[in-house]
Structure 1
Amino acid sequence: MPARLGRYAVRRRIGSGGFATVWLAYDEQLDSPVAIKVLAENWTEDSHVRQRFLEEGRYLRKVESPHVVTVYDAGSLDDDRPYLVMSYADQGTLADRLEAGGLTLPQAGEVVRQIGDGLHALHRRGVLHRDIKPANVLFRTVDPEHDGTEVRAMVGDLGLGKALDVSSRLTMIAGTPSFVAPEQAQGEHLDPRADQFSLAALTYLMLAGRPPYSHSTLSAAANPSPPEPMGGSGLWFPPEVEAVVRRGLSADREDRYPDLPAYVAAFRAALGDDAVGTLPERWLPIDPELTQPGNKPSLVPDRAELPEPVPPTRRHRWAAAALGLVLLVAGGVGGFAVWRGTHSTKTFTDEDRILSVTVPSSWGRDVSLKGWTPPDSPYTQSALSVGDGSSWRTSGQGVFVGLLPESKLPKTLPLHPSCSHPGRLRSSTEGDPTMIATSTGCPGVIIERVTQVSGTRLLWVQVRSDDEKTAEQVLASVQTRGSLG
């Protein structure tokens, strides 16, 4: 961990991705915590990646909105890597809130309103976000030293941002498969309705407790079928609410709302005043368990550790009344927890926040989220491992998910000859190039899958389970986030 970045004292690492690392730091001159995003060392010489990194800062500086992350400063380190100094989201992300139990219906409606305002501010300045998802919706306290503390939702991470009037390599196909608009996955010319699709997908997730799609690749996202109804597992939604969200998710952008304010207005009108209500200034409770800046640098050890993930101990439930447009919240919380509780599952995300997988809750006894070093590689890659015990790889149940720095699929996979019916290697005809093998009688089943997720990365997944249905469900839940190089 660096002691300083420019004039800023570094506290700890917040996270990292394919192109950058974000550090929590302290501005000693202005007595304030900040987030500093630094270009990854291995991309220093790539002029295109460097340009895209700097353009993110320029895009954010164009916008004056309380619902868009603010860039305060920019600079270069001694090794010429650029960095951006930004507002620090001390209340974490929407992904954190969903993991910890979800939102009430009024809170979800307020997130849609505030993020819609932030995206519209970007669009007015000619910028598309292109990667709206739970991890890129940030929460920050305003005026934390007074009783009137407010939490604001902000749009963050414009790493895939694109100027509407610019045609360049930024038109490359990119995005998060479960939230990306079909025209973006197809590499077509984009307009603000692409971000509307992503916000509608986020709305669906907050209400139904599951994303509208579980695409594992951008190829699968290019031609989506209509999403399943938002109800199920005891949930019910008025037709007006579902109609608004489904229109925002239309595969043909001409069928969506003309702009984001129209979508937000229609959604809130469909909820109705009785459902949305009048939110207090503290519309989202401050959560002390989320990432906090802590004491000033002089009071903190040099090697401050990352905080432990917040355990999902708060479980909440949705209820809906079939009375006009009114939705009532039972227990004061959102549908995400209902879906997870009903299915008795738990989602794990690696330390770099690039990979995630959902597994049966009983598998969470042996967990590693710190990455791995592939054979014949000197570099650590993003990875996670989750199992029902320390011996799950030989006699239990679990899953390994990891990236490999390779440009081609392997010709062979581990076929586990100890299984009574070793799997036959086959290619998948859906989505990105994939090789897969399913072995049975192990006892149980072992599935190996390798997918070409970018020009320089493979995604390797191994699932061991007592039954094939569970193994397939775990395999289908694996997701990658952000750019993989």
Structure 2
Amino acid sequence: MSAPSRLGRYPVRRRIGSGAFATVWLAYDEHLDSAVAIKVLADNWAGDHHIRQRFLEEGRFLRKVESPHVVTVYDAGELEDERPYLVMAYADQGTLADLIELSPLSRSQAVSVILQVGRGLTALHDRGVLHRDVKPANVLFRTVENGRGAHIVAMLGDLGLGKAMDMSSRLTMAGGTPSYVAPEQALGEGLDARADQFSLAALSYHLLTGRQPYAHASLAAAENPAPPAPMEIDNPAAEEVVLRGLAKDREDRFPDVASFTAALAEALGDEVDAAPAAWIPADPDLTRPAAGTEATGQASDPPSTASRGRRLRRWSWVAAAVLALLLGTGAGWALERTGTSESTVEDVEGLIEVTVPDAWTAQVDPEHWSPVEGRPEQPSLAAGTRSGWNSDDDPDEGVFVGILPGDKLPSRVPGHAACPVQRGPYFDENSEGDEMMTVFFSGCPGVDWMVERIIRVNHNQLLWVQIRSHERRVATRVMESVEALGF
């Protein structure tokens, strides 16, 4: 889907992400001079009354609450095709799930996040609303400016499963994320605020220990959980608080979330004052609206692949890879300067482009490669900090992009034994609707991060991207810049 020029009265900057029921766009409120996030119901659900009502209920639930720790809904509207949208606060610092993938939080930072999420839940509960899906991906971070400078605020978002307490007190449909959901919620029983307390306790266990208390594969597994492993955090009082919040019987938990967080703060004493620092750099063009589309509030037709190709991009991390890295040794290369810090390189045919830091252009190879011995060569492009950047014995930063023959994504990829942490493979779709798989590795020697992604670009071709980088955010930026033209 290409970016619409406007959604209602709001110029659109770019797409942030999407899920099964909605797409979220970064836009600009010209009246208030601020960035906003706009959540639009997916067009394939526009005619489903139940889903439409659930979408609107999320906005109503959020609107009921006035708390800096719950995502604010500023406005709501309807597009010309009758799809509803919600205009919300923009979380410029991403999610807790993204942050803890980079590195564990310090104990004081973890407690700061737990207390802020607890305040958000208490605000929801005070207005008679349950969240029902507290997990790292639904904790968002936003930069807030005040007289003391910029600081980071944690907010609860995504009330797609939210319910009014008088509805949740009766039997309801089971839902939630298995590793964080309360047993009574997994069983589909009537719920109260202690279900959200259980989820917050599970999140607390995760942040304080660096591991989840449970690894449930399904809601059925969450119906009767065994006691979690000891936390081993050198604070028996804090561990007792968290484990009480995780009690299987809700009667054994704290009476409410505020009591849980107060007990945890008391147990941890003075370790509660350091919020996470900003970790995503400010975007100087944050409020620049998209150009080249009609101001209709609808998504415009995508550009032709003959003229512009297909931009294979995604805001969130997903990842993939497949064969061993095979690079040609051609001497010629194309380089287009785009600024003092980044450059765009392309292969010899002009079919693949990627924007990289200038330091990654020390060794550029735009020649074809042979993904399968004895088969025709395919377009490819490599750029790195030096010759041999892609070797396993002496790696450095760089990117490789190549075309592979294939009609479907592989089910698994070769591992990198030297990298102690692997996440994935994760399967998803990019903004053009192409299937893709991503795997990422951290703690790698030489370069901390390795990301591999495979995208199915048509019925018989795949695009493989491998990135090695010292910083994940640099790898993300390079990954999002990859373009395959004319496939």
Instruction: Verify same fold: TM over 0.5.
Output: yes
Distance of 2:286 and 2:116 partners within structure 1: 30
**AA in 2 matched with 1:367:** E
**Match of residue 216 from structure 1:** 217
Distance of 1:386 and 1:372 partners within structure 2: 13
Give the C-alpha shift of residue 358 in structure 1.
Answer: 8.0
SS at match of 1:149: strand
CA contact (8 A) 1:350 1:371 kept: no
Give the C-alpha shift of residue 350 in structure 1.
Answer: 5.0
Give the C-alpha shift of residue 216 in structure 1.
Answer: 1.4
Instruction: Find out whether 1:263 has 2:251 as its counterpart.
Output: no
CA contact (8 A) 2:244 2:252 kept: yes
Per-residue CA distance 1:299-339 (angstroms, 9 max, x = gap) = 8787996558599xxxxxxxxxxxxxxxxxxxxxxxxxxxx
CA contact (8 A) 2:17 2:316 kept: no
**Match of residue 346 from structure 1:** 422
Distance of 2:265 and 2:418 partners within structure 1: 28
Distance of 1:350 and 1:39 partners within structure 2: 22
Change (3 A) 1:92 1:217: same
Per-residue CA distance 1:374-400 (angstroms, 9 max, x = gap) = 99xxxxxxxx99999xxxxxxxxxxxx
Give the C-alpha shift of residue 237 in structure 1.
Answer: 2.5
SS at match of 2:155: strand
Aligned with residue 287 of structure 2, among 276, 279, 296: 296
**Match of residue 10 from structure 2:** 8
- Give unpaired runs (5+ residues) of structure 2: 294-302, 304-310, 320-416, 431-435, 468-487
Instruction: Find out whether 1:244 has 2:329 as its counterpart.
Output: no
Distance of 1:54 and 1:85 partners within structure 2: 12
Instruction: Find out whether 1:50 has 2:126 as its counterpart.
Output: no
Aligned with residue 103 of structure 1, among 93, 102, 105: 105
Change (3 A) 1:133 1:355: farther
Per-residue CA distance 1:22-80 (angstroms, 9 max, x = gap) = 11111122211100111111111111111110000000010111111000000111111
Instruction: Find out whether 1:125 has 2:124 as its counterpart.
Output: no
Distance of 2:210 and 2:228 partners within structure 1: 14
Distance of 1:96 and 1:248 partners within structure 2: 25
**Match of residue 322 from structure 1:** none
CA contact (8 A) 1:90 1:293 kept: no
Percent same amino acid at aligned positions?
57
Distance of 1:219 and 1:68 partners within structure 2: 30
Instruction: Find out whether 1:285 has 2:277 as its counterpart.
Output: yes
Change (3 A) 1:242 1:356: farther
**AA in 2 matched with 1:173:** A
CA contact (8 A) 1:24 1:293 kept: no
SS at match of 2:167: coil
TM-score by length of 2: 0.63
Per-residue CA distance 1:190-246 (angstroms, 9 max, x = gap) = 000000000001011111111111111111111111111123xxxx42221111111
CA contact (8 A) 1:115 1:154 kept: yes
Change (3 A) 1:295 1:50: closer
CA contact (8 A) 2:5 2:291 kept: no
**Match of residue 202 from structure 1:** 203
**Match of residue 41 from structure 1:** 43
Distance of 1:247 and 1:385 partners within structure 2: 47
**Match of residue 139 from structure 1:** 141
Aligned with residue 62 of structure 2, among 45, 60, 63: 60
Per-residue CA distance 1:156-214 (angstroms, 9 max, x = gap) = 11000000112699921111111111110100000000000000010111111111111
Give the C-alpha shift of residue 352 in structure 1.
Answer: 6.4
Q: Who wins on radius of gyration, i.e. which is larger? A: 2
SS at match of 1:165: helix
SS at match of 1:297: coil
CA contact (8 A) 2:12 2:289 kept: no
**Match of residue 91 from structure 1:** 93
CA contact (8 A) 1:67 1:114 kept: yes
**Match of residue 453 from structure 2:** 368
SS at match of 2:149: coil
TM-score by length of 1: 0.63
CA contact (8 A) 1:162 1:170 kept: no
SS at match of 2:35: strand
Distance of 2:234 and 2:229 partners within structure 1: 13
SS at match of 2:132: coil
CA RMSD of aligned residues (A): 3.7
Change (3 A) 1:91 1:300: farther
Instruction: Find out whether 1:70 has 2:72 as its counterpart.
Output: yes
Give the C-alpha shift of residue 367 in structure 1.
Answer: 2.6
**AA in 2 matched with 1:132:** V
Instruction: Find out whether 1:166 has 2:167 as its counterpart.
Output: yes
Distance of 1:34 and 1:367 partners within structure 2: 31
Change (3 A) 1:75 1:298: closer
**AA in 1 matched with 2:421:** T
Per-residue CA distance 1:388-418 (angstroms, 9 max, x = gap) = 9xxxxxxxxxxxxxxxxxxxxxxxxxxxxxx
Q: Which has the higher strand share?
A: 2
SS at match of 2:11: strand
**AA in 2 matched with 1:251:** K
